[in-house]
Amino acid sequence: MPFSSLASPLDVELRPDKPALLHVDPPDDPPKWAAEHREALRAQVTEHGALVVRGLGLRDPDRAGAVFGQLAGELIAEREAFAPRETHRPGVYASTPWPANQPMCMHHELSYRLQVPGLMLFACLTAPEQGGATAVADAEEVLRALPAGLAERFEREGWILTRTYNDEIGAGLTESFGTGDRDEIERYCRANAIELDWQPDGSLRTEQRRTAVVRHPLTGRRCWFNQIAFLNEWTLAPEVREYLVDVYGADGLPFNTRHGDGSPIGEDVVQLINSTYEAHTRREPWHHGDLLLVDNIRTAHSREAFTGERQVLVGMGEPVRPAEDCPALEASER
């Protein structure tokens, strides 16, 4: 479907430092409208990396979930979650719980899995008083902006995510794997290139090597695609990191990242990655009822600090395996 059948090209606003924005007249049936314009909307997301649709009036989980389904087809059930989420209906989740006064830095959703969502869908049921934007950053631009030596090392070696599951912090075993059965968890880990080690106290420690740079499945362009900084200890607030290290030890943190050769990632590297993301960030304040579509391979997203109530729902669709030809990952699976 050509874009002209959706609306005049002038209806899509392309503005510096902001994601593409499409204003629509409130439809009587938003899910039907979404189905009719799915191909045109997806074309815009492919072209721009992210698209805000304003005017749909998504004010409840059922309506938002129906729109998600029309745009993405079958929604993905989350696995390997790092924090528990409230489920509103199958495949429709509350946004990840995170202190309102602390920003959630840029990341690509579930980029530590072998199969990842290609499309992220967000619906704002209640907009915050101030802040709270789901900002975005172009992963092609970020890759080009990073120092060549750093990017080349991560592309060559990949990165390692370590996790320690306990019942106190983050998602527990059942929340992350969908089961608490040891045999089922071990089968999942073997099938997904995750090394695991049961601890004497019954907790689980895992390690998985993943790729840091992938080619977009549609455009073939190289994208910085990972959660190297987001899940690293140096991204935590200093007082939180100090507390976790004191309680669990440096090797027992709920999550942490390392270079692909197993060496620690320095604070300077994490700050560099986060500052590069910030230099390429585009943000648009949420309005009640907004829809945000994000190409999860090309575009990282974040959540900014906010005040007031904020209710944003999340859906994930169009699963892809972007790292099938990654030499760093292939080495970890041998």
The pLDDT value recorded for residue 224 is 98
In a domain, 136, yes or no: no
User: Does residue 108 belong to any structural domain of this protein?
Assistant: no
Regarding whether 288 and 269 lie in a shared domain, the answer is no
Q: Report CA Rg, the chain.
A: 20
Strand 130-131 relative to strand 306-307: parallel, antiparallel, unpaired? antiparallel
Residue type, 292: L
Torsional sign, CA 226, 231, 234, 237: positive
Q: Do 203 and 151 lie in a common domain?
A: yes
Structure tokens at 299: 């575009």
Q: Report the C-alpha gap between 190 and 188 in whole angstroms.
A: 6
d(CA 212, CA 226): 5
Q: Identify whether residues 54 and 122 lie together within a single domain.
A: yes
Containing 154, the helix (H) or strand (E) segment is: helix 148-157
145 and 259 within one domain: yes
Structurally, the chain folds into a number of domains equal to: 2
Other Cβ atoms closer than 10 A to 203? 17
The answer on 304 and 181 residing in a single domain is: no
Q: What contacts 168, CB < 8 A, 6 or more positions away? A: none
> And the tokens for 145?
């902006």
Do 290 and 257 reside in the same domain of the chain? no
270 domain-assigned: yes
Q: Are residues 39 and 70 in the same domain?
A: yes
- 171 with 257, same domain: the answer is yes
Same domain, 145 and 243: yes
Same domain, 160 and 242: yes
The DSSP annotation for 88-107 comes to: EETTEEEPPP--TTS-EEEE
In a domain, 271, yes or no: yes
Tell me whether residue 145 is in a domain: yes
Residue 264 lies in a domain: yes
- Average pLDDT across each block of 10 residues of the chain; the chain has 334 residues. List them in order: 36 90 95 95 94 95 96 92 86 87 92 96 97 97 98 97 85 88 96 95 93 94 97 90 88 92 97 97 97 98 95 96 59 46
* Unique residue bearing structure tokens 């799915």: 38
DSSP letter (8 states) at residue 236? S
Do strands 159-165 and 204-210 pair parallel, antiparallel, or not at all (unpaired)?
antiparallel
- What is the model's pLDDT at position 248? 86
Same domain, 196 and 308: no
How far is the CA of 129 from the CAs of 43, 122, 307, in angstroms? 32, 18, 6
Give me the pLDDT at residue 3, please: 30
Domain hosting 315: range is 3-98+115-129+284-320
Pair type for strands 291-295 and 104-107: unpaired
Start-to-end Cα distance in the chain: 44
pLDDT the model gives residue 326:
52
Same domain for 257 and 178, yes or no, is: yes
Nearest to 82 by CA among 201, 158, 159, 165: 165
Report the C-alpha gap between 199 and 205 in whole angstroms: 7
CATH assignment of the domain containing 266: 3.60.130.10
Residue 231 inside a domain? The answer is: yes
